[in-house]
Structure 1
């Protein structure tokens, strides 16, 4: 259960390559299942990677003695991820989680070369016989944030700090905006993208820009708490991302989307252990417990907290869906007719912003 450096990983893979032919598969029957993770950022980012690592630790704790789980952090979303994945596979890791959207093609490529290794890719949509995907319905949490933002904003201008224009982020922007507009139809969302998941300096600068544009509530879809620290200084309401970040903005964080990956990681490790693993396309949310809202700020009025709780309950029992038409895009074209719901396949590939998003 260690952080593997690239050098040590290569040594381990080389050693495994020498040992396996001599010992045979039967020699490892009693060995714990080796699981590998690659992380986009550092485990101490207090957001996305921190949450995945927390899930990994929960899995190890729940399956003591049955699994060992290693990770490599700060893996770029480019071709350099391929040799790292190969090294994990060659060093005996039988289940490998690739925890960011940008690893999709690399995961598929390496999986073809190691058909006996099982891979799971987070937030992607490409599959193979030994590649499954998993995601969390973060947009459900964004609709809670948007409801709160719509009720708390005095300017009618709210902000969103985004990373890349990928479906996960687009869904978040749209859910945030639509739910805020349900409270105040005149709400507009200023969107700033920084083309990075984790860059504290860029995140801070982008939130400064949003504050200067008059945004009095800001949500983020990046991984560090740097933006929240700006909000605390500028007295702008904000939301944590991936984890409760209240310690970085104790006065201004209204709540946070907490990513709870432990239950999923435990279930998939068990599936490998009992031989029932199959490539899945899991998309869990409030109902399954992978999306959880962090504690509400004490400054949140009771009626706002009650409205937020109603949204959460609606997602859980199926009575609420923020992506119910009529929904128009930025140009005013109707994308979802009145009364219709967006299907999961359309949500998973969405590439357009709703009316009211200013990018």
Structure 2
């Protein structure tokens, strides 16, 4: 997926002297101002932390061709619109809006600043100067679910989820299908937060799920609270977003992580080169945007080997996380043959058999 977007910069170096007067060398092109908006504090792990690692990689790779800055803890809605408008007015030539709820505000600001390029994480609308990008987190979620199914003794997993948007629903379903591939009787119990970042409620939800019999936890939320609860209570963890081993060294079996440095660098190079255009991106395991990483050293060799085989099958396209038969948790058949296409995955609003819970209306 990643294209080699390189540009040669010619800088006129030299001086012409007449008598005792020197004409300075021509100035290099001004660096691109690449600005990032985060929905939560960067912290030491989580959604915004991973995006900020991408920002740092961009800065290291492009050096003096780019200057980066970020604003953290920006609520979706009016606050995000104000922040993005301020950044554009202050000279940012490229703005990364890294939360789902930033889409409509970003579209409005993009219309006001047609010379500024906007990249929105997880969106489904584009404009002449606004692109969307996302990762197929569900691919690694399926693998995490399979690992949970192999290691769980109770056959019950607890899932702490943020908002009921398709990306989150995809992850819940993929995790459940993976878990049931290892244990057909497995059950995933679900609690919605209706928040992306709320450490207190994330912890409370995790403890509730443990009380309901879950001996393995996972989440789609922004803090280490679920990991810390798992470590404290002695249950297993399939971490999300970041490697949470520093918070749960015994509990964490593996982590579903996302990686943005190469993509952010690619985009910035395209803007600098004048070749940027809106081309929505949805990359997965084979593209390096998402990984199942940080495997616990205690995992049996046979489990690791089988996990690697299953991952390679997903990378090669020989296996699909959402392959038939698919039945939802009301008993309705959703797919009798084949595999779900991208459109069906992108609009997913139902839960597979094996999930205890529902998709609330936002």
Give secondary structure in 2 for the equivalent of 1:96.
strand
How far apart are 1:307 and its partner, in Å? 2.2
In the TM superposition, what is the alpha-carbon distance from 1:45 to its structure 2 partner?
4.8
Query: For 2:56 and 2:297, how far apart are their aligned partners in 1?
Result: 31
Change (3 A) 1:229 1:96: same
Taking the aligned partners of 2:89 and 2:44, their CA distance within structure 1 comes to 29
Match of 1:56 in 2: 55
Partner Cα separation in structure 2 for residue 345 and residue 59 of structure 1: 31
List per-residue Cα deviations over 1:47-105 (Å, max 9, x = no partner).
11000000000000000010011111000011221111111111111111000111111
SS in 1 for 2:67: strand
Q: Is the contact made by 1:104 and 1:124 (CA closer than 8 Å) also made in structure 2? A: yes
Which whole-Å deviations, capped at 9, do the CAs of 1:207-260 have from their partners, x for residues lacking one?
000100001111111111111111111111102221111011111100101211
Q: Match of 1:101? A: 100
Indicate the RMSD between aligned Cα atoms, in angstroms: 1.3
Q: Which shows bigger deviation, 242-251 or 52-61?
A: 242-251
**Match for residue 90 of structure 2?**
91
**Secondary structure of the structure 2 residue equivalent to 1:134:** strand
For 1:125 and 1:302, the matched residues in 2 are separated by 41
User: How far is 1:29 from its partner?
Assistant: 7.1
- Which consecutive residues of structure 2, in runs of 5 or more, have no partner in the other structure? 1-25, 358-362
Aligned-partner SS, 1:257: strand
What is the aligned counterpart of 2:344 among 343, 346, 350? 346
> TM-score scaled to structure 2, two decimals?
0.89
| Superposition misfits of 4+ residues, deviation over 2 angstroms | none
For 2:277 and 2:350, the matched residues in 1 are separated by: 32
> Which position in structure 1 is the counterpart of 2:164?
165
Contact 1:33-1:93 within 8 A present in 2 as well = yes
Return the offset for 1:342: 1.1
Aligned: 1:299 with 2:298:
yes
2: CA distance, partners of 1:63 / 1:275: 16
Partners of 1:129 and 1:141 lie apart in 2 by: 32
Question: SS in structure 2 opposite 1:80?
Answer: helix
Take 2:183 and 2:228, find their aligned partners in 1: how far apart are those partners?
Answer: 27
Structure 2 distance, partners of 1:284, 1:293, is: 14
Partner SS state of residue 247, structure 1: coil
What SS does the aligned partner of 2:286 have? coil
Tell me what 1:47 maps to: 46
- Map of 2:175 onto structure 1: 176
CA distance 1:134–1:28, change in 2 (3 Å): farther
Q: Is the 8 A contact 1:36 1:70 kept in 2?
A: yes
- Secondary structure at the aligned position of 2:237 is classed as strand
Alignment pair present for 1:239 and 2:238: yes
- Between stretches 28-37 and 239-248, larger displacement belongs to 28-37
Matches within 5 A, 1:1-359: 30-338=29-337, 340-359=338-357
TM score, norm. by length of structure 1: 0.90
C-alpha distance in 2 between matches for 1:112 and 1:167 = 26
Residue 69 of structure 1 aligns to a residue whose secondary structure is strand
Q: Distance in 1 between matches of 2:162 and 2:246?
A: 23
Aligned partners of 1:189 and 1:93: how far apart in 2? Answer: 44
Q: C-alpha displacement at 1:350, in angstroms?
A: 0.8
Structure richer in helix, relative to its length: 1
Deviations 1:281-337 (A, max 9, x none): 101111111112222112212222222212221121111111011101111111122
Whether contact under 8 Å (2:244, 2:252) holds in the other structure is yes
Aligned partners of 2:348, 2:269: CA distance in 1, in Å? Answer: 33
Contact 1:45–1:224, Cα closer than 8 Å, also in 2: no
Residues 180, 187 of structure 1: 8 Å contact kept:
yes
- Equivalent residue of 1:119, what SS? strand
Contact in 2 for aligned 1:48/1:242 (Cα 8 Å): yes
CA distance in 1 between counterparts of 2:150 and 2:280 reads: 35
Query: What is the aligned length?
Result: 332
Unpaired segments ≥5 residues, structure 1: 1-26
CA contact (8 A) 2:218 2:226 kept: no
